[in-house]
Amino acid sequence: MTATPFPADAIEQANRDLAEAGPETILRWAVKRFHPRLLMATAFGVEGCCVIHLLAGIEPGVRFINLETGYQFPETLALRERIKTRYGIAVEYVHPEQTVAEYEAEHGGPLHGLRPDQCCFDRKIRPLRRALERIAPLAWISAIRKDQTADRGKAGVVQWDAKFGLVKVNPLLNWTKKDVWAFALRHDVPYNPLHDRDYPSIGCWPCTRPVAPGEDDRAGRWAGKVKKECGLHVIEQQDGGGI
Ligand code: SF4
């Protein structure tokens, strides 16, 4: 297992201590333990916006990044500005090495239709890895919920992220979709207007479509393909578990 400043037994203990805790308590713990080497990567889904709202009241100096693939919806980019206005938090864009035009020219067209794993790797994972090397966080926060996918159902509130060599903190893990929306509406949290147009889960525009009544919330992501995750939140079992 990769060396960690937060060993496995400390992660287990934190998980036990925080198993029944609410998001604010979990975030206060993460800030106390890891800030200023605490990072949040957000795609500006309503869950991430709730976490930003909470962190704005706890420690607005936490570093926030967004993987700006060049294929995000205009509504998503506009939401970044609304968050900046509301909270004074400027989410930092992490860009791929190549613009969309350069990337598509090199590959003879877009890859998102034919080779989405390659496209996500080039435009999300690789830029993220470079950003992590530069920022050197010890821990990062995600806004995943247990009930979103089978993989996410296996996550812990605090876990070792073997893929990126970081402690991962999942403050909303035990919230339901109803909990998230009740919080967002109660606190007037800025959120992506696409959520009101049948996009429960929002990624890049070529790989996201609205869902029909009764469909799974993530049915609109990479619709018609086996792919359900971009690779950031996929569990990698290692030394007894981790993400
Ligand atoms: S979600 Fe689609 S467009 Fe965005 S990086 Fe992945 S494959 Fe490319």
pLDDT, tens digit, for every residue of 180-230? 999 999 999 999 999 999 999 999 999 999 999 988 888 888 777 666 666
Q: Domain locations in the chain?
A: 8-207
Q: What is the mean pLDDT of residues 12-16?
A: 94
How far apart (Å, rounded) are the C-alpha atoms in residues 160 and 241?
A: 8
- Domain 8-207 -> CATH class: alpha beta
Verify whether ligand 1 is closer than 6 Å to residue 67 (CB atom). Answer: no
CA distances from 163 to 2, 177, 231 (A): 10, 27, 9
**Sheet containing strand 63-67, strands side by side:** 92-94, 63-67, 38-41, 139-141, 166-169, 158-161
Q: Which residue has the tokens 């979103």?
A: 148
**pLDDT tens profile 60-80:** 999 999 999 999 999 999 999
Residue 1 confidence class, pLDDT cut points 50, 70, 90: very low
Mean pLDDT of the chain: 90
Residue pair 75/203 in contact (Cβ under 8 Å)? The answer is no
**pLDDT tens profile 111-157:** 999 999 999 999 999 999 999 999 999 999 999 998 887 788 888 99
How far apart (Å, rounded) are the C-alpha atoms in residues 50 and 234?
A: 22
Share of the chain above pLDDT 90, in %: 77
Verify whether ligand 1 is closer than 6 Å to residue 232 (CB atom). Answer: no
Q: Which residue has the tokens 């060396």?
A: 3
State the pLDDT at residue 230.
66
124, 126, 199, 221: residue to mutate for ligand 1 pocket, most atoms within 8 A of CB: 124
Verify whether ligand 1 is closer than 6 Å to residue 103 (CB atom). Answer: no
Lowest-confidence range among 9-18, 112-121, 163-172, 229-238? 229-238
Ligand 1 atom closest to the CA of 122, numbered from 1: 5
Residue 41 per-residue DSSP state: E
Enumerate the active-site residues: 230
Share of the chain above pLDDT 70, in %: 90
Residue 231 confidence class, pLDDT cut points 50, 70, 90: low
CA distances from 241 to 8, 21, 23, 39, 170 (A): 10, 21, 23, 22, 15
Residue pair 7/14 in contact (Cβ under 8 Å)? The answer is no
